Amino acid sequence: MPAAAAALSPSAFIDRLVAITGPRGVMTAEGDMAPYLEDWRKLYRGHALAVVRPASTDEVAAIVRLCAGAGVSVVPQGGNTGLVGGAVPDGDGRSILLQLGRMNRVRGIDPIDYSMVVEAGCVLEAVQGAARDAGRKFPLSLGAEGTAQIGGLIATNAGGIHVMRYGMMRDLVLGLEVVLPDGSVLSELTTLRKNNVGYDLKQLFIGAEGTLGIVTAASLKLFPPLRATRTIFFALPSLADGPRLLSLCREFTGDAVESFELIPRQGIDFATAHVPGTVDPLEGRPEWTVLTEISGRSDERLQEDLDHLVEAAFQAGLVTDGTIAQSEAQSKALWLLREAIVEGQRLAPGIQIKHDVSVQVSDMPGFVHAASEAVWRIHPDALINPFGHLGDGNIHFNVTLKAGSTADAVKGVSEIVYRIIDDFGGSISAEHGIGRLKAAAHAARCPKPRADLAARLRKAVDPKGIMNPSVFRPAR
């Protein structure tokens, strides 16, 4: 334990934790802690004094106060589905891992005001279900929704497949309850839509990846459920036609495009080769396809809009083929293909290198072309799989190198991709955050005024530096 904890031996510290949560809330045995100390992608494995699972905001506050006094750092964890290594401690064993999963109550739902208040440990799928039961929709949706928790989704400002219609988590949060690094509680669980009383403090914690405080509860925006939706799979003549097709879809449907996902041939091949139950929906093996979901006020109006859209898209030469799901089962099969790309690539032979990047939607074809050419110049046999949220200008530009490629080769590929992202004025982290994985790449390109202000802010909110200390900081 650090010097500040001189008055408290490790065993006395653990006793104090147990006094706060009861024995059920504290784990110290290596075997019990192990699943919490490795990240989803198995890139990081850490050590902790204890894994602590509080059941209330008061318990979180007491734990953080104890840690602040003892100089012990705190690493918050939700569903541990984060992809940048931010939810596991480093190897020094001087932190506690604070796991929020027991705080999973829906505190209230108001269908008239279209809002709900939930605790940080609620799993996203349960929040969607609770909203649905109340006749409302919580629109955030992503592949990890059966495991990711509201606190983690807020701390990473999660995106997913509906961002172009409803925004990211930042746009869906009305208020927050946060335990600050000194153990005090900032309680702003408002459901007001308009509230201009100076700084919008909740935004500080959204996307902060647990560096400024522990989110313990949130008030969230709800929406009316959709009356009619269609899932459509289009084949494009070329990637360059993707942004123009998106623009047409928005125009012909009154901007009712719920999602617009790019699926390249390589992604379909990964999915169908390795994930049972996935099928290639079109004949002719088109190189570029998109999966889009469009909503409408009624089946009849939607069908009318789609008839006009499809006719216009063919006439403009923006699509070569397509299929509209005729049932819930067909729609699910198309979405299964989209979601299976990640798993398919994971199971494919070779070394998988992932990038979560964004550029302007209209720049996407140019970026994909430039980055692919640059990677192929050095690795002619690399497989390139640029898929994902084209509607948001965010794709996962994933590259497979042959097995046995060196760590330098892997690093070199990411450097190429990020250099080209810089050329396009894009972002090296569109939705997964910085965590530990991207800390060095971020620091290398973060303008000094931004880096200085962020450091001053962090120091002001967390003067003892106990909150998730490895996140945003390049390893030395």
To the nearest 10°, report the CA torsion of 420, 144, 471, 162. Answer: 60
| Binding residues for ligand FAD, total number by CB under 6 A | 37
Strand-pairing partners, residue 73, are 95
Nearer to ligand FAD, 76 or 242 (CB): 76
* Interaction between residue 214 and ligand FAD (CB under 6 A): yes
Nearer to ligand FAD, 78 or 296 (CB): 78
* Nearest one of 204, 275, 261, 198 to 233, comparing CA atoms: 261
Nearer to ligand FAD, 252 or 472 (CB): 472
Three-point CA angle 442, 444, 447, nearest 5°: 85
Span 79-138, contacts to ligand FAD by CB under 6 A: 79-83, 86-87, 100, 120
Q: How far apart are CA 214 and CA 231, in angstroms?
A: 38
* Interaction between residue 153 and ligand FAD (CB under 6 A): yes
Nearer to ligand FAD, 142 or 319 (CB): 142
CA distances from 474 to 12, 321, 358 (A): 33, 47, 22
**In the bound complex, what is the minimum distance in angstroms from residue 201's beta carbon to ligand FAD?**
14
Q: How far apart are CA 394 and CA 429, in angstroms?
A: 9
- Angle at which helix 265-274 crosses helix 328-347, to 10 degrees, equals 90
**In the bound complex, what is the minimum distance in angstroms from residue 343's beta carbon to ligand FAD?**
8
* Interaction between residue 337 and ligand FAD (CB under 6 A): no
**In the bound complex, what is the minimum distance in angstroms from residue 61's beta carbon to ligand FAD?**
13
Exactly one of 89, 152, 243, 267 binds ligand FAD (CB under 6 A); that residue is 152
Chain centroid to CA 307: how far? 34
* Interaction between residue 149 and ligand FAD (CB under 6 A): yes
> Which residue stretch of 76-84, 89-97, 223-231, 276-284 sits at the interface with ligand FAD (rule: CB under 6 A)?
76-84
* Interaction between residue 36 and ligand FAD (CB under 6 A): no
Q: List Cβ neighbours of 17 (8 Å cut-off, separation of 6 or more).
A: 25, 26, 50, 52, 63, 66, 96
**In the bound complex, what is the minimum distance in angstroms from residue 292's beta carbon to ligand FAD?**
16
Strands 26-27 and 50-52: antiparallel
Exactly one of 78, 344, 393, 426 binds ligand FAD (CB under 6 A); that residue is 78
> Which residue stretch of 141-149, 221-229, 238-246, 402-410 sits at the interface with ligand FAD (rule: CB under 6 A)?
141-149
Binding mask 230-259 for ligand FAD (x = CB under 6 A): ------------------------------
Nearer to ligand FAD, 281 or 344 (CB): 344
- Largest Cα separation within the chain, whole Å, is 77
* Nearest one of 275, 282, 127, 151 to 213, comparing CA atoms: 151
* Nearest one of 154, 165, 159 to 189, comparing CA atoms: 154
Strand-pairing partners, residue 178, are 186, 215
Span 160-179, contacts to ligand FAD by CB under 6 A: 160
**In the bound complex, what is the minimum distance in angstroms from residue 277's beta carbon to ligand FAD?**
16
* Interaction between residue 292 and ligand FAD (CB under 6 A): no
Is the distance from CB of 308 to CB of 252 less than 8 angstroms? yes
First to last CA, the chain: 21
**In the bound complex, what is the minimum distance in angstroms from residue 469's beta carbon to ligand FAD?**
11
Nearer to ligand FAD, 176 or 249 (CB): 176
Three-point CA angle 343, 290, 153, nearest 5°: 55
Exactly one of 117, 142, 164, 416 binds ligand FAD (CB under 6 A); that residue is 142
Exactly one of 119, 241, 258, 431 binds ligand FAD (CB under 6 A); that residue is 431
Q: Would you call 385 helix, strand, or coil by DSSP?
A: strand
Nearer to ligand FAD, 282 or 336 (CB): 336
For ligand FAD, the binding residues (CB under 6 A) are 40, 75-83, 86-87, 100, 120, 142-144, 148-149, 151-153, 155-156, 158-160, 209-210, 214-215, 342, 431-432, 435, 468, 471
